[in-house]
Amino acid sequence: MAELRDKIIRYALEHKKSILVWAVALISGFMVFKGFMQVPQIRANRAEIERLEEKIKYEKVRQQETDELMTQVDSDDYIEKVASEKLGLIKSNTKVFVDVSQEK
């Protein structure tokens, strides 16, 4: 057993540079292989990022529209418009004209 160990140590010392070159080559090859294996995941992540960026743009436009609507809601003109259109309410002292020509 000691003889085998001594032979291995002698071989390692004699071929130190070639062993180091092979180790570096194997590690480099493994890293390149892992890099190529991750390419599909990278592409999928990029596609997801683009999709999310589009969604962010859409939501920003929607938020801006909501903010504009919020400023309109506080105005008297908007309140009158909604009360007239949706609830059928009118201000007092308002003249109402009824078109009787379309009635049968």
Domain ranges of the chain: 1-37, 39-85
Q: Which amino acid is at 55?
A: K
Alpha-helical regions (H) of 1-104: 2-14, 16-37, 39-73, 76-85
- Tell me the pLDDT of the chain (104 aa) as tens digits: 888 888 888 888 888 888 889 999 999 999 999 999 999 999 999 999 999 999 999 999 999 999 988 888 878 788 888 877 777 777 777 777 777 887 65
Dihedral angle at the C-alpha atoms of 65, 70, 72, 76, nearest 10 degrees? 170
